[in-house]
Structure 1
């Protein structure tokens, strides 16, 4: 005779190769346990689940449909990061609560500000660190990365691998980015790079087979084959179903259940099967939605997002974990107005306290396929549990790897009289909004600091402020509600009207009818250069010329400036991928300092995603 309030939750996950049975029995187990949680109450919450196959569905269309269905209480899904981004793009701007199992860092940065995205794992920044920590724990000294280019999942690894390997004291033998046509070639290069370990990051399980096949090829020069460490894509019942015997020996890292919760043991007992990647997180997402629905039933004026934030912010007594009895204690505590500390199958359900977007601690399983099944070798987590194999242990290398900025010699500077600046956005087009926005923001900062327009050379394409895609004509911002950095800007040149030689002439003060605005500095003047745009390994781009600026081209320009006494001190800051590899070639020119957004092996990172305008407004380094 209990009074039940029912809500429908859409579940968008891959359903092929046996995965559908895993999701359905996990949520069936949740539904049974959650119903038991209300045994002491005269009313309760039931969640019903609608299932959609993310491998075959038209994700943008599905996201739009679910966003505007009043009967859909929340959405859980997106095991694959590319699909999760499309779901977030359609769901969160419409105010639909969305829980995801995807791990791409860019997804979190893009949609955290909406307030409706809940990520049930840490991002792959942590997974990349865990994989590299395993190399150190195994005694390895050198690594290489094999990951997919222009892919939401692979991009996090491409962004962070070079930085983390350097900080951990590992020799980076190369970052090998592949697409759908170059997988075999890039895999071969990675296997023959001389690295002891190759971190393999397949974005789809179909990419695992070629990686394994090519790893069997004997490397050149008689060196031993590298040991492969796979990311979480290689963990799952679907991998064993697709590849069978050739999976034997695969090892790597995957997120999973907290071993102290007992979830995996209970799952094995109930279903005579091991859980697959993401099942613990799926269970916990449903549990949080259920708790929030119960809190709203008790306090109808509380919106769903606020209810969720209250649930994950509880500081009272820990009521246990994920079982029916444990959930019953939480339900009873909420009914008394208490704020219990909530744990789940995946561990501590604590979210960042600012935007409540992703969980702060994830348990990673170090797995290996043995006799056709996955076995767990050990665990990594940052939650402080006593089972922790400290993922940060390797960072102890950092103290001995810190860059030494000792004085390279005595330099006597002449009297300082004035300042000059050269500000350049080397890209164009709406999708590159952030480059011009950041240059204009720096321009406004310089003006506020006393620079005058006759001492600033400003180069931007100027195709953003009045672009047809811009909903605010004549306005450019670096934050959604920030100042208009385009206002009052005195633009000297359009990017497309200049060649690389012109930049050199501007820097060395070679004025002409073609170049009326140049840097007319002397040995008494400081020069600030800011460059924002795209970069490639070994070069920085200028519009469509991908390899426009290399260190070999730039270094003679700076040396000429030194010889001609064109500056007192020069500071150049560069916002571009791989830019450190270019500016390293310019080291050694007296009185010059270079600061780059990335080393020669790293990408730089966009920041402040505007979900309405569908662009990044700024860059993280800038």
Structure 2
């Protein structure tokens, strides 16, 4: 049946012709239907609350619900989001499994933004799922330094408190101001403690503070007092302890019993009433740091006036998390086809009107987000200015320097991690992107002279070692295979490479890509085709020693066959401690003494013309402290008192794929095939985050040789 006014003429091919009036009539009907549908949608949409998930504990030392409800009520009192009220959907992680509760939010299509979780380990567990579902996660309290580097640039993972790298920086700033020249570090072996362990040596080096002792301990460890005793033997001015109240009290008692004049400095984890109740009068004078709000925002005073008590450490960032979530939803009202990631970016990088966290500020921020140029949001915790490269983190945080006085924690002063103000944008990167100062590069005379070897080179040999075991050490095996691949692509045959790699990662149950190792996300399988000479339990420090010195045994049939005209390249990626490189699970160690003896033996037996060691381990510089045999160049990713960091995180397999130093070396060599050893050092130095690349030459090594020419058969 045809609509009135339609005339039809059927041709032989069945085409229908419709006159102009009919076309206009159909268009009008469709427009009316669309308008009706849109009006209906708008009416329903306008009355639908904006649901925002909350994945936080509702009980405990940190109070999250109070600032969230305050922020919600303030937003709704100002008209909500385009007239839509904000509704908070709580899932209490204090009484349920955080990962399971987070998955429930992922499966709920009515919720696109979730505030939480408060623990860094839970952020790592949930972030890949949120990224895959293109939902936003905003944590107000997860402070691991690794979160920034793991999830930067993806746009879906954010937090309203800077990572604890900033707290490390503030602590060292305080101690430097006290004239401290030597500290020891005791850090809990946890996701929380790892950041302090990873970064204290870096900032100490920057500030000229010696760290002769650095150690992690398990919470409640029975050997903690012995650790304190060992730390005190280095005569530090302070022990910096990253510990919760029980362990902090143990450390304090051990110091007091020793009679040492060493003082104790604590982090925010210890700043709980349990510390004072445990120590009693002995707690008097204890000092530490903890996150707080920018004192110029007035949030602390307003909170205390409204609720009758001072806010907990993360109250201001929690308030700000909901503020960012609400403004992101407002941005979506304005730009419904924009991705959530882009909407968050627009919110946190706004540069127009400066708005505050109170009712009037929120009203202005909402109106401008909906209709005007994007405002610069200043929250309860301060100006919400974010890392320009990676996002995720604010670039400035505020910390209270507290002291126990008359049985209570009292703020001595408030410090800003970046010396910023709320009156101007400073731009830049967060503390978690800190790189070494140019003035602290290695500068021995052997790195400035020109040398030409008197003996012509006749051949080239390489030894590549990735001795770490287990899924968590994926990056070490990947680093070794990446360097192996670099040499093979540069024309070096397998006959000239001895590859020692534990090689369990391709087949461990945790690996979702069986048989695969890659060093860049979605990259090629660099394990395929690699010919390993030693794997598994055969990859030991003793095996390495035999390989290097040419000592052939039943267990080491493949060894370095070299002479006085052989250029040798040695690469090692593993865990390290001061004076040690770890093989396997730690039962086998290559010590500084072993390394020195090995190089002396090789020199004595004329087993090399020149040797270039590239070592990617924590505390890497410490291995070459006593090396004097001529013809050796030693390049490492970390100074003697600092760890080194992972570089690339793969959210699909949830693992670090490479280390900062190795990644910097490979990308530099791939970009410039003519770069010399002398030129390589400063290039890699400025690329590496969180450690000081070190280069040592014992002399009689031609550092003006192009590296890729040296790494050639």
Match in the other structure for 1:420 = 461
Check whether the contact 1:93–1:611 (CA below 8 A) recurs between aligned residues: no
| 1:354-390 CA distance string (max 9 Å, x none) | 44211121122222233425334232231532999x9
Are residue 125 (structure 1) and residue 168 (structure 2) matched? no
2-structure distance, mates of 1:556, 1:236: 50
2-structure distance, mates of 1:14, 1:188: 37
Query: Which of 361, 370, 382 pairs up with 1:335?
Result: 370
1-structure distance, mates of 2:133, 2:68: 26
Structure-2 change in CA distance of 1:410 and 1:306 (3 Å) = closer
Q: TM-score, normalised by structure 1?
A: 0.88
Check whether the contact 1:574–1:597 (CA below 8 A) recurs between aligned residues: yes
Check whether the contact 1:13–1:55 (CA below 8 A) recurs between aligned residues: yes
Are residue 108 (structure 1) and residue 143 (structure 2) matched? no
Please give the residue correspondences for 1:193-212 in structure 2 after superposition, counting only pairs within 5 Å: 193-202=234-243, 204-212=244-252
Structure-2 change in CA distance of 1:29 and 1:599 (3 Å) = same
Structure-2 change in CA distance of 1:467 and 1:12 (3 Å) = closer
Are residue 10 (structure 1) and residue 53 (structure 2) matched? yes
Match in the other structure for 2:383 = 348
Residue 299 of structure 1 and its aligned partner are, at CA, apart by 2.5
Query: Which of 548, 567, 578 pairs up with 2:589?
Result: 548
- Greater shift, 468-477 or 238-247, is seen at 238-247
Residue 521 of structure 1 and its aligned partner are, at CA, apart by 2.6
Structure-2 change in CA distance of 1:45 and 1:521 (3 Å) = farther
2-structure distance, mates of 1:611, 1:277: 30
Match in the other structure for 1:36 = 77
Check whether the contact 2:540–2:588 (CA below 8 A) recurs between aligned residues: no
Match in the other structure for 2:477 = 436
Are residue 166 (structure 1) and residue 205 (structure 2) matched? yes
SS in 2 for 1:458: strand
Residue 515 of structure 1 and its aligned partner are, at CA, apart by 5.0
Check whether the contact 2:53–2:113 (CA below 8 A) recurs between aligned residues: yes
SS in 2 for 1:342: strand
2-structure distance, mates of 1:330, 1:387: 17
Please give the residue correspondences for 1:58-137 in structure 2 after superposition, counting only pairs within 5 Å: 58-88=97-127, 91-100=130-139, 101-112=141-152, 114-137=154-177
- Greater shift, 175-184 or 270-279, is seen at 175-184
1-structure distance, mates of 2:297, 2:97: 36
Residue 616 of structure 1 and its aligned partner are, at CA, apart by 2.0
Match in the other structure for 1:594 = 634
Match in the other structure for 1:583 = 624
SS in 1 for 2:506: coil
2-structure distance, mates of 1:197, 1:551: 27
2-structure distance, mates of 1:387, 1:317: 11
2-structure distance, mates of 1:234, 1:548: 34
1-structure distance, mates of 2:68, 2:510: 43
Match in the other structure for 2:394 = 359
Residue 344 of structure 1 and its aligned partner are, at CA, apart by 1.1
Match in the other structure for 2:184 = 144
SS in 2 for 1:268: helix
SS in 2 for 1:282: helix
Check whether the contact 1:255–1:364 (CA below 8 A) recurs between aligned residues: yes
Residue 269 of structure 1 and its aligned partner are, at CA, apart by 2.1
Query: Which of 343, 346, 360 pairs up with 1:325?
Result: 360
Residue 61 of structure 1 and its aligned partner are, at CA, apart by 2.4
Residue 292 of structure 1 and its aligned partner are, at CA, apart by 0.8
Match in the other structure for 2:559 = 518
Residue 468 of structure 1 and its aligned partner are, at CA, apart by 4.8
1-structure distance, mates of 2:279, 2:554: 67
Query: Which of 325, 341, 357 pairs up with 1:305?
Result: 341
Structure-2 change in CA distance of 1:489 and 1:192 (3 Å) = closer
Give aligned pairs, total: 606
| Gaps in structure 2 of 5+ consecutive residues | 1-42, 663-713
Check whether the contact 1:17–1:241 (CA below 8 A) recurs between aligned residues: no
- Greater shift, 512-521 or 612-621, is seen at 512-521
| 1:447-501 CA distance string (max 9 Å, x none) | 2223222211122233333555443344321011223222332323324335544
Match in the other structure for 1:370 = 405
Structure-2 change in CA distance of 1:235 and 1:15 (3 Å) = farther
Residue 439 of structure 1 and its aligned partner are, at CA, apart by 1.0
Are residue 609 (structure 1) and residue 652 (structure 2) matched? no
- Greater shift, 340-349 or 47-56, is seen at 47-56
Residue 591 of structure 1 and its aligned partner are, at CA, apart by 0.8
Match in the other structure for 1:227 = 263
| 1:251-304 CA distance string (max 9 Å, x none) | 222222112211112112222321110111111110000001111123322232
2-structure distance, mates of 1:142, 1:251: 17
2-structure distance, mates of 1:398, 1:480: 30
Residue 208 of structure 1 and its aligned partner are, at CA, apart by 3.5
1-structure distance, mates of 2:204, 2:257: 25
- Greater shift, 25-34 or 575-584, is seen at 575-584
SS in 2 for 1:407: helix
Residue 309 of structure 1 and its aligned partner are, at CA, apart by 1.0
Check whether the contact 1:425–1:495 (CA below 8 A) recurs between aligned residues: no
Structure-2 change in CA distance of 1:77 and 1:217 (3 Å) = farther
- Greater shift, 379-388 or 204-213, is seen at 379-388
Structure-2 change in CA distance of 1:519 and 1:214 (3 Å) = closer
Structure-2 change in CA distance of 1:459 and 1:24 (3 Å) = closer
Larger Rg: 2
Structure-2 change in CA distance of 1:403 and 1:383 (3 Å) = same
2-structure distance, mates of 1:109, 1:399: 22
Q: TM-score, normalised by structure 2?
A: 0.77
